[in-house]
Amino acid sequence: MSKFVIACPVCNRYAEGKTGFFATRRIHCACGNTIHVKTDKLTSRECPSCGNNVLYDQTEGKNAKCPVCQAQLVSDESMNNLVHFRCDTCGCSLQAAKSATRITCPVCDTEQDVQMKLKLQEDQAEGIPVLIRYEGDNHTFVWKHPHTDFVTGSQLIVHETQEAIFFRNGEALDSFPAGRYTLETATLPKMDALYPVPVQGQPFHAEVYFVNLTTHLGIKWGTNSKVGLFDPATGIHVELGASGAFNLRVSDARKLVMRVVGTTDGLTRDQVFGGDMSFFRTLVMTKVKGNLARVIKENHISVLELDERVEQISAELKNAINPDLAEYGLFMPEFYVSNIVTPDDDPNFRRMKQQHAEQYLRVREEEIRKAEAEAAFERKAVEAQTAARMKVIGAQGDADALRLQAQAEADAYRMQAEAEAQEMRMKGYTYQQETARQVGLEAMKNGNGTAAGVGGMVGDMMQLGVGLGAVGSVIGMTKDAINPVVQQAAAVGGWDCSCGQKGVMSNFCPNCGAKKPEPQSGWNCTCGQQGINGNFCPNCGTKKPEAPAAWDCSCGQKGIHGNFCPNCGTKKPSAPAVWDCSCGQKGIHGNFCTNCGNKKGE
């Protein structure tokens, strides 16, 4: 707001007035007269005599004088050198010398570019289209073109990152995306419907707003006070501060211009989110402070683990802010929480850190003990497997040794038998004859008195020189003498009857007819009792030991009672260990209980 002086029409003295929208339009003179000021008729001019900038009524024309030096302000020559135009802000009529650069509107104090107004009037007079394009910087959201009067046929240029909107009387009409347009009736359908656009080369009034659609990066934010909350992990109350940056772009150009810009000259980045008086700082800060504690609580984020969850916190805060920004045609594509200030000097926070450290150490010690136990178990399992493998290898080696020994003995016996058979074939007698001869010789050498007598007799007779015929008779006698010896030898292993008959070979006694007694199947107890037929010892009550079960070898040998196969030497397989189930079933051989189905070991 500025001051000015105006001449009183009664006393011709000058009274002081003020400009601005809220300034009074009635000026009281010292003589008591009230001067009614018509602001649309006021203009300012530099006095050609004293150089003062004088505000005067344009209707006075040549009669207007400088209140300081009383010099005439307007002459015929100066009238021809004046340019007349309207203020871009308040719309009042203004005039200025064509040589002037800028003047200030006396009503709203808006600075006017005189040379631009002059150029526009010249273009309008000659019918030359005016080039309308964006002339702001990249830190501007909305830029208003300084001209409000255009001529039909003017060229409108809109870049890829912009959108142009035409206003008339505060109403948003036609919008233009990126491209080059010639302003005429066809390209301004909404404006032409309300305010008919003149023919080619004629002026028309409108306001053009260019909206910058690029994303504004790195807009800093920070909470102006601490945010109090209860830590979800410990329940301790702490206070946090947060800061970071966000990116912002226009999502609805028409909505932004109508709801935020209004009739101002534009909208800059500082006005959106700059100082404390910016439009959206309070909105963003309120949303951050109101949702930061909620996000931490709902996601059970410990205050000591905030740094590793900043991406999640940033995403949820962005989602909470964007719905409110959308009401003004703005959108926040990215929101970053880059720093969270913790109260390191707060005793509650220090106690929470100590509790967290102690809990971490306990968990870590438990993990180490568990790992050591698992390692020991695996080591014992490996040792047991190694021992079992060595036992199997040892048993296999013993079986191989026994098998080789038996094979060697069998080969030696077979070779000896083949040599004896070859010798007998060479001498011309059979195996049966050789056997009878060997038996007879052994009987004569090692037999009883009968055999010895026969042997002596034969010897004596051979010494006396008995002839070959006598020898034949002696041989027959020898045969007769040998037969009882052979029969006696055959009788070995017979049974003795209770009647006194001994060496019975048949199943019945030839003397009394008694049947051969069955072999005793009794067992001997460790206490000394022998020939026990029952299941328990009658002397000490010990139970009869279980007979070892026979087993079949993989080589085909069946009914083996020993620990090694007599055919191939393979060791008897170990019997599977039996186990008892928790349901009460006992002596289970398989991996699952036959009663309840539980797995072995569970």
Instruction: Return the residue matching tokens 């017979």.
Output: 494
**Where does the pLDDT of residue 464 fall: very low under 50, low under 70, confident under 90, or very high at 90 and above?**
very low
User: Tens of pLDDT along 583-602?
Assistant: 888 877 777 887 887 887 66
C-beta pairs of 313-320 under 8 Å, 24+ apart in sequence: 313/337, 314/244, 316/291, 317/287, 317/288, 317/291, 317/292, 318/246, 320/287, 320/290, 320/291
Mean pLDDT of 16-29: 67
Residue 143 clears pLDDT 80, i.e. is over it: yes
Structure confidence at residue 370 (pLDDT): 87
Backbone torsion region of residue 466, taken as left when φ is above 0, otherwise alpha when ψ lies between -120 and 50, otherwise beta:
beta
Greatest mean pLDDT among 32-41, 63-72, 309-318, 415-424: 309-318
15 and 8 Cβ atoms separated by less than 8 Å: yes
Rounded CA separation 111/117 (Å): 12
**Where does the pLDDT of residue 468 fall: very low under 50, low under 70, confident under 90, or very high at 90 and above?**
very low
User: Tens of pLDDT along 231-276?
Assistant: 777 777 888 888 999 999 999 988 888 888 776 778 888 888 876 6
66 and 45 Cβ atoms separated by less than 8 Å: no
Rounded CA separation 110/21 (Å): 12
Nearest CA-CA partner of 482 in 444, 432, 431: 444
Q: Where are the alpha helices (DSSP H) in 428-500?
A: 431-446, 449-463, 468-490
User: Tens of pLDDT along 363-414?
Assistant: 888 888 888 888 888 888 888 888 888 877 777 777 777 778 778 888 888 8
Tokens of 290: 């109101």
- Other C-beta atoms closer than 10 Å to the C-beta of 17 total 22
Residue 303's alpha-carbon distances to 229, 235, 262, 581, in angstroms, are: 10, 10, 44, 50
**Where does the pLDDT of residue 277 fall: very low under 50, low under 70, confident under 90, or very high at 90 and above?**
low
Mean pLDDT of 42-56: 69
Nearest CA-CA partner of 248 in 276, 224, 278: 278
Rounded CA separation 78/73 (Å): 9
**Where does the pLDDT of residue 458 fall: very low under 50, low under 70, confident under 90, or very high at 90 and above?**
very low
Close Cβ partners of 259 (under 8 Å, ≥ 6 residues apart) = 327, 328, 329
Residue 2 clears pLDDT 70, i.e. is over it: no
67 and 14 Cβ atoms separated by less than 8 Å: yes
Rounded CA separation 278/557 (Å): 102
Nearest CA-CA partner of 6 in 66, 77, 63: 66
How many helices and strands (H and E) does the chain possess? 11, 24
**Angle, vertex CA 214, rays to CA 213 and CA 217, nearest 5:** 135
Q: What is the DSSP letter of 529?
A: -
Close Cβ partners of 60 (under 8 Å, ≥ 6 residues apart) = none
Residue 469 clears pLDDT 70, i.e. is over it: no
Structure confidence at residue 158 (pLDDT): 92
Residue 538 clears pLDDT 70, i.e. is over it: yes
Close Cβ partners of 99 (under 8 Å, ≥ 6 residues apart) = 81
Nearest CA-CA partner of 505 in 483, 482, 521, 497: 497
User: Tens of pLDDT along 157-187?
Assistant: 999 989 999 887 777 888 899 998 888 777 7
Structure confidence at residue 446 (pLDDT): 59
108 and 89 Cβ atoms separated by less than 8 Å: yes
**Where does the pLDDT of residue 38 fall: very low under 50, low under 70, confident under 90, or very high at 90 and above?**
low
pTM of the model: 0.42
Handedness of CA 498, 499, 503, 505 (dihedral sign): negative
Mean pLDDT of 495-513: 83
Q: Whole-number mean pLDDT of the chain?
A: 76
Bridge-based pairing state of the strands 131-132 and 155-158:
parallel
Structure confidence at residue 443 (pLDDT): 65
Rounded CA separation 563/571 (Å): 6
Residue 439 clears pLDDT 60, i.e. is over it: yes
Greatest mean pLDDT among 132-136, 313-317, 416-420, 501-505: 313-317
Q: Which of 74-78, 85-89, 197-201, 452-456 has the lowest mean pLDDT?
A: 452-456
**Where does the pLDDT of residue 460 fall: very low under 50, low under 70, confident under 90, or very high at 90 and above?**
very low
Strand partners, 3: 18
Nearest CA-CA partner of 241 in 343, 324, 164, 147: 343
Q: Which of 86-90, 323-327, 336-340 has the lowest mean pLDDT?
A: 86-90
Rounded CA separation 244/306 (Å): 14
Rounded CA separation 502/492 (Å): 10
What is the DSSP track for 20-73? STTS-SEEE-TTS-EEE--GGGEEEEE-TTT--EEEEEGGGGGG-B-TTT--BS
Nearest CA-CA partner of 210 in 156, 260, 273: 156
Rounded CA separation 244/288 (Å): 11
Strand partners, 57: 42
What is the DSSP track for 288-346? HHHHHHHHHHHTT--GGG-GGGHHHHHHHHHHHHHHHHHTTTEEEEEEEEEEEE--TT-
- Higher per-residue confidence, 487 vs 81: 81
What is the DSSP track for 148-208? -EEETT-EEEE-TTEEEEEEETTEEEEEE-SEEEE-SGGG-HHHHHHS---STT-EEE-EE
**Where does the pLDDT of residue 472 fall: very low under 50, low under 70, confident under 90, or very high at 90 and above?**
very low
Structure confidence at residue 332 (pLDDT): 93
Structure confidence at residue 322 (pLDDT): 93
Greatest mean pLDDT among 70-84, 317-331, 576-590: 317-331
Bridge-based pairing state of the strands 155-158 and 179-182:
antiparallel
Close Cβ partners of 248 (under 8 Å, ≥ 6 residues apart) = 215, 216, 219, 272, 273, 325, 330, 331, 332, 333
Mean pLDDT of 42-59: 69
118 and 101 Cβ atoms separated by less than 8 Å: no
